[in-house]
Structure 1
């Protein structure tokens, strides 16, 4: 896990070059024939990338984006009205039967099917109108790291080309070096503080919500630590009743319009005596992250720094981050 996560910046840099033509072609087609909406379909870490996709498409393009439950197509087998949609399936292996069934149904309904997949000759890739390879290379650790970040970077490059946003296109050039700097950030205070923990909240919002979901999953699978991810707005609707003296909270501060409310929440929880770690890009924080070249890049930097910390925490708690109990690298659900 450590070695693979450390490769993420180089993966993203090479992916931007390798995928530019295919994504430029897709972007041109999307500008010519704009979809009515975007539908995503994924599970696990890939679904957290889909959470990021929703915020990215909606904030940068104004295109409504919804997550399609894989069970609707594979178990309930209810046809969905996807004729004018862009359907994006995200998968590392491209082999899970439920994603394949939904991609088949989306294509039959007339949607444009795009597959973001790490295995280019997978069954999912064969079903897609456009294949966007993640180019993450072999990933042997059960816990996905570089493939997750490669999913985010592929989505980011698509949106930059689709929107033809100069600021975002320029940010892509600087993102790999920012990720390298993020990998070197010291998050050991959080690792030390969570060594004996049993539960915690991980909070993000907007573009950063998917990062919080990914962090919570990694706490569970690599550290045996029960973690729940919430929007820093949604946590106020009930869950925050649990936050009191000593309760651990990791807060991922997104450097955009959501930041003011997120930082205010951190202060509120500290006033209750909660154990709070605030991670922020370039600002005052308990856990430092380099400044993001664009707000949409921040989740990649936050997650990259997080991966190094959670790997160390897993080892400190006596776990093997590469082989979590009861899990396989490829999960095939129906």
Structure 2
């Protein structure tokens, strides 16, 4: 896991170069024939990438984006109204029967089917109108790392080309180096503070919500640590009743319009005595003001790049935490690398 996560910056740089033509052609087609909406279909870490796609397409392109439950097509067998929609299936292996059935149904319904997949000769790739290779290379650890970040970067490159935004396109060139900086960010205080934890919240918002979801999953599968992901807005609707003295909270602040509210929430939780680890460019909290502390972050070349940097820093920390808690991050119990659900 450590080695594969460390490769992510090189994977992203390679992917941007290799996929530019196929994504530029797709983007040009989407501008000529704008879809009424975007539907995503994925599970696990890939579905967290779909969460990022929703926030990115809606904030950068103004295109409504929704997640399609794979079970609707594969178990319930209900045909969805997807004519002219952009249907994006995200999968590392491209083999899960439920995703295959939904991609096939989407194509039959008249959607443009795009597959973001690491295995380019997979059944999912064969079903797609456009295949976007992740170029992550072999990933042997059960916990997906570089393939998850490659899914985000493919979504980001598509959005940048679709919109034709100069600032976002320039940020792509600088993202791999920023990811290398993120890998070197020291989050060891969070590792030390969570060695004996039993549960925690992971909070993000907007473009950063998918990163929080991914972090919560990795806590569970690699560390045996019960973690729940929430939007920093949604956590106020009930879950925050649990946050009191000593309760652990990891907050991934997104450097955009959501940031001020997220920082205010961190202050509120600190005032209650919660253990707050806040990853933010703006955090100036006194480490002595309460348990937990600030975590350094790499400068994002564009706010849309920030989730990739936060996750990259997180992966190094959670790998260390897994080992510190006596787990094997490469072989979590009861899990397989490829999960084929129906």
Q: Please say whether Structure 1 and Structure 2 have the same fold, judged by a TM-score greater than 0.5.
A: yes
Match for residue 299 of structure 2 among 291, 294, 297: 291
Counterpart CA distance in 1 for 2:84 and 2:139 is 35
Is contact 2:190-2:277 (8 Å) kept?
A: yes
Counterpart CA distance in 1 for 2:191 and 2:62 is 38
Please state how far the C-alpha of 1:284 moved relative to its aligned partner.
4.0
For residue 315 of structure 2, what is the aligned residue in structure 1? 307
Counterpart CA distance in 1 for 2:27 and 2:169 is 13
For residue 272 of structure 2, what is the aligned residue in structure 1? 272
Counterpart CA distance in 1 for 2:7 and 2:25 is 28
For residue 165 of structure 1, what is the aligned residue in structure 2? 165
Q: Map 1:47-126 to 2 at 5 A.
A: 47-126=47-126
Q: Map 1:153-232 to 2 at 5 A.
A: 153-232=153-232
Summarize deviations over 1:168-223 as a string: whole Å, max 9, x none.
00000000000000000000000000000000000000000000000000000000
Match for residue 332 of structure 1 among 307, 324, 340: 340
Counterpart CA distance in 2 for 1:66 and 1:2 is 32
Please state how far the C-alpha of 1:84 moved relative to its aligned partner.
1.9
Counterpart CA distance in 2 for 1:185 and 1:175 is 15
For residue 291 of structure 2, what is the aligned residue in structure 1? none
SS at 1:113 equivalent: strand
Q: Map 1:140-155 to 2 at 5 A.
A: 140-155=140-155
Q: What RMSD over aligned residues (CA atoms) do the two structures have, in Å? A: 0.7
SS at 1:19 equivalent: helix
In structure 2, runs of 5+ residues without a counterpart are 286-293
SS at 2:296 equivalent: strand
Counterpart CA distance in 1 for 2:295 and 2:94 is 35
Please state how far the C-alpha of 1:281 moved relative to its aligned partner.
3.9
Counterpart CA distance in 1 for 2:23 and 2:260 is 34
Counterpart CA distance in 2 for 1:280 and 1:168 is 21
- For residues 282 and 304 of structure 1, do their structure 2 counterparts lie closer, same or farther at Cα, with a shift above 3 Å needed? farther
Is contact 2:263-2:283 (8 Å) kept?
A: no
Please state how far the C-alpha of 1:139 moved relative to its aligned partner.
0.1
* Runs of 4+ residues over 6 Å off in structure 1: none
TM-score of the pair, normalised by structure 1: 0.99
In structure 1, runs of 5+ residues without a counterpart are none
- Is 1:127 aligned to 2:127, yes or no? yes
Is contact 1:282-1:291 (8 Å) kept?
A: no
TM-score of the pair, normalised by structure 2: 0.97
